Amino acid sequence: MGSWMTTHLTDLGVTGAAAWTSAFWLTVTVGRVLAAPVAQRVPLPTLVTACAVLACGALLLAGTALGPWAYLLAGVGIAPIFATSLGWFGQHLPTRLAPIVLACGGLGGTLFPALLGLLAARLGTDALPVGFAVTAALVALVALVLRAVLARAPRAVSTGA
């Protein structure tokens, strides 16, 4: 999202689009800090799912006059997803699988901006918020499916072996 946000806001005619993108990254940072105490009180699968749903809802507004503010709210929403997901999976996967989980996260961070670029090239930058929202909805869906699957699976012992 951060890769395409400035382009989208500029095409919407938003003054200071780059400054709004900087503010987006600030909200991501603040969201990560705020997520730590929340994660102590809320089950990690619930936090991941709720944050993805929050981001999805905010991003559906990103193509409107509320666009810059919607991106800031989406930043708060996406902030805890990756780190919280790592903690969640760490409860169920052996430690030796951590590099694979990290590689998958990196792959998503590489593929999705490129796919969104293809979307923007084909349909224009007005399609970007929908693409972002669909991505967030997919994260929520995957979290819900994993939550159901992992609820039925025995807990793995987190060892390096």
Domains of the chain and any CATH numbers: 5-152 (1.20.1250.20)
Please determine, for residue 141, whether its predicted confidence score (pLDDT) is greater than 90.
yes
Please determine, for residue 154, whether its predicted confidence score (pLDDT) is greater than 80.
no
Exposed/middle/buried for 127, CB within 10 Å: 0-12, 13-18, 19+?
middle
Specify the higher pLDDT residue, 24 or 146.
24
Q: Determine the Cα–Cα distance for residues 90 and 98; give it in Å rounded to an integer.
A: 8
Please tell me the predicted confidence (pLDDT) of residue 161: 47
Please determine, for residue 45, whether its predicted confidence score (pLDDT) is greater than 60.
yes
Please tell me the predicted confidence (pLDDT) of residue 2: 85
Tell me, what amino acid is at 80? P
| 55 close to 120: Cβ distance less than 8 angstroms | no
Structure-derived torsion over alpha carbons of residues 11, 82, 138, 152, reported in degrees to the nearest 10: -170
Mean per-residue pLDDT of the chain? 90
The most confident of 25-29, 111-115, 146-150, by mean pLDDT: 25-29
**Residue 155 pLDDT grade (very low, low, confident, very high; cuts 50, 70, 90):** low
Close Cβ partners of 77 (under 8 Å, ≥ 6 residues apart) = 31, 51, 52, 53, 54, 55, 56, 58, 136
Close Cβ partners of 18 (under 8 Å, ≥ 6 residues apart) = 6
Specify the higher pLDDT residue, 108 or 50.
50
